[in-house]
Each structure stands twice: as structure tokens, then as C-alpha cells.
């Protein structure tokens, strides 16, 4: 399939390719996620770390204990082997959250592989267990939910942008302009479903308002290739927008999943499955 450029001449991400639209056939995937949430895999949270080596497993033990005590612990898996860079995930997110074209809560970057070729890498918020953004906000506008999602209280945010400077993944964005006119009745802003507002910080939220209803995040359902999976570390299940269900810990272990910039100690909850010769170490 033909891939699309993901960077402008200045090096920043651009909007979706002309004429691209998310695949609307993914709406029935709600049923798939609802089915997975009722399945509890004994010890699933602890099994997740077993694909790591002993040192990594020891470092992740506190996280595993915390996960085991939660009703849900959301994560994301991104299978780079099937990503063609179409940016359907980006466009679906923009449509769901009423974002302007320059506002991209999930970016798709062009990356170089070991042979000098290119591959596409979607990058949402990493939902880090040890997120630097959590501790730097002068007004405490960053919150973490019981199921592990790092969110922004836009009602409290004063736009200092300290969290943007602290994020090593550059996954936070300042709203410099007025939002687009709402297409439906105005809804109150919540951390789980923030309403765009000028002068505050926005970011990927994993469509946190959808998850308790058993619905997929917009980026997951909007990917025509099934690249993105929403997973639950407690039930040990993940599902993509094509309705494919996997046992999360086995899927990660069998495919040698990695985490982006794991050496920073942020313990991100986004896992990548690499193809041949790929490395998350550098892009264009």
C-alpha cells in the first residue's frame, strides 16, 4: 500500500492526507471489547512482565502489584508490522475530539530502519506509570485515574506548559487558537473527555470516557489495518479495531514487544511490536 508523508518541510507533523477518512465499519467493535472485559486471567498483570528479563521484571514489580489491585489497567499495543502510515488514527482522533488540523494528539512519524528504509510509527500519549508531567504542574492539573490513565483537568490548567517541557515523548500540545465550533450541543469538559479550549494543554486520553462503556478509542476503531490494540493488564486481553482479540501477555512475549525510550524509567503503558530491522531509537 502507498504510504503518506507524515512530516512537513520544517520537520513537524502535518495533517492527514487529502481525502483520507477513517473506516466507518469499525463501529461494531464495541461488542468485542465488552466481551473481553468479562474475562479475568489469573495473575495476568504479573504474567505481563515475564517477557522481560529478570532485571526488568524486578523493576516492574511495584507496577504489577498496583495493577493487580485495580479493576482495570488500560494500555495500548501498536503493531508496526502492519502500519502503512495512512494516519487514519490521527484523523479519527481529531474528529472525535473536535481538534483543528494542526492539533494531533496521536502523531504518525516516519522512522528509519537498520537498512536505511522507512517505517511508520504512531505515537499517542505513553500513559507513563512514572510520568514526569505529573509532578511539575504548578496547579496540580495533571491527574492519574485508578486504571492508570494520565489526564489533564482543563478547568484547572493555567497554560504554564511546564508539563509539555517535562514530557520526553513530546505528547502534549498547547491550544494556541480558539477551538472549532462544536458540531453538537456543548458538553461540559472533563479530564476523560476534554473540550478544546484556547490557552490550555491538550493530549491523548485513550478516549477514557469510552472505555467504561466497553467502547474502543477512536484511534483504535479508526485504523483500517488493525495496527492499534487497546488492552487491559488486569484481564490480560487486548482487542483491535478489526475485532481481533489476543491474550495480552502472550501477544507481547511472542512478538518481543518493546517500549519507547524505556531507558528513561517512565514505565510507559504503550507497547510496540517491531518488524524486521526496525528501531525506535531515531526518526527523521
Per-domain boundaries in the chain: 30-273
Name the residue among 102, 78, 72, 76 with its Cα closest to residue 90.
Answer: 102
| pLDDT score of 60 | 52
pTM given for the model:
0.75
| pLDDT score of 32 | 38
Are the CB atoms for 217 and 206 separated by under 8 Å?
A: yes
- % of the chain surpassing 70 pLDDT: 70
Tell me if the domain spanning 30-273 has CATH number 3.30.70.20: yes
**88-134 pLDDT, tens per residue?**
999 999 999 989 888 899 999 999 887 788 899 999 999 999 999 99
Work out the pLDDT band at 53, boundaries 50, 70, 90: low
DSSP reduced 3-state for 253: helix
Name the residue among 254, 265, 222 with its Cα closest to residue 122.
Answer: 222
Amino acid at each position: 500500500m502507498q504510504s503518506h508523508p507524515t512530516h512537513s518541510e520544517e520537520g513537524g507533523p502535518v495533517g492527514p492526507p487529502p481525502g483520507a477518512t477513517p473506516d466507518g465499519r469499525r463501529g461494531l467493535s464495541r461488542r468485542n471489547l465488552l466481551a473481553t472485559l468479562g474475562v479475568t486471567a489469573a495473575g495476568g498483570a504479573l504474567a505481563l512482565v515475564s517477557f522481560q528479563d529478570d532485571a526488568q521484571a524486578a523493576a516492574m514489580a511495584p507496577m504489577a502489584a498496583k495493577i493487580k489491585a485495580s479493576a482495570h489497567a488500560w494500555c495500548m499495543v501498536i503493531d508496526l508490522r502492519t502500519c502503512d502510515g495512512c494516519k487514519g488514527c490521527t484523523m479519527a482522533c481529531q474528529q472525535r475530539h473536535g481538534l483543528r488540523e494542526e492539533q494531533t494528539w496521536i502523531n504518525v512519524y516516519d522512522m528509519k530502519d537498520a537498512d536505511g528504509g522507512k517505517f511508520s510509527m504512531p505515537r499517542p500519549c505513553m500513559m507513563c506509570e512514572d510520568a514526569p508531567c505529573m509532578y511539575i504542574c504548578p496547579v496540580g492539573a495533571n491527574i492519574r485515574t485508578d486504571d492508570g490513565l494520565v489526564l489533564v483537568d482543563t478547568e484547572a490548567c493555567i497554560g504554564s506548559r511546564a508539563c509539555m517541557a517535562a514530557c520526553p515523548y513530546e505528547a502534549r500540545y498547547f491550544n494556541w487558537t480558539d477551538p472549532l465550533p462544536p458540531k453538537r450541543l456543548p458538553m461540559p469538559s472533563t479530564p476523560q473527555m476534554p473540550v478544546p479550549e484556547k490557552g490550555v494543554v491538550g493530549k491523548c486520553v485513550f478516549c477514557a470516557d469510552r472505555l467504561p462503556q466497553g467502547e474502543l478509542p477512536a484511534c483504535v476503531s479508526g485504523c483500517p489495518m488493525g495496527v492499534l490494540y487497546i488492552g487491559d493488564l488486569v484481564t490480560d486481553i487486548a482487542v483491535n479495531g478489526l475485532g481481533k482479540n489476543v491474550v495480552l501477555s502472550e501477544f507481547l512475549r511472542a512478538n518481543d514487544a518493546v517500549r519507547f525510550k524505556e531507558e528513561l524509567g517512565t514505565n510507559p503503558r504503550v507497547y510496540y511490536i517491531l518488524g524486521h530491522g526496525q528501531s525506535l531509537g531515531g526518526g527523521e
